[in-house]
Amino acid sequence: MDGPAQLCNEHEIIEMTGLKRGVLTIIDKREQFAGIKRKFFSP
């Protein structure tokens, strides 16, 4: 009986980790961009 429920739960976990990874990637890119801007625009 626990087959489909287990599968669904695993899929949800995979989606959550994928979402987290995506958010972290976006934050990382923004930090890199901010660092580049600082390099170019620093007096």
Asked whether residue 25 is assigned to any structural domain, the reply reads yes
pTM of the model: 0.50
Q: In this predicted model, what pLDDT tens digit does every residue of 1-30 receive, in sequence order?
A: 455 566 667 778 888 888 889 899 998 999
Query: Sign of torsion, CA 30 28 22 24?
Result: negative
Q: How many domains does the chain have?
A: 1
Q: What is the radius of gyration, based on Cα positions, of the chain?
A: 19
Domain containing residue 27: 10-41
Asked whether residue 35 is assigned to any structural domain, the reply reads yes
Asked whether residue 1 is assigned to any structural domain, the reply reads no
| pLDDT for position 11 | 76
* pLDDT higher than threshold 70 for residue 43: no
Asked whether residue 19 is assigned to any structural domain, the reply reads yes
| pLDDT for position 18 | 87
Asked whether residue 15 is assigned to any structural domain, the reply reads yes
| pLDDT for position 7 | 62
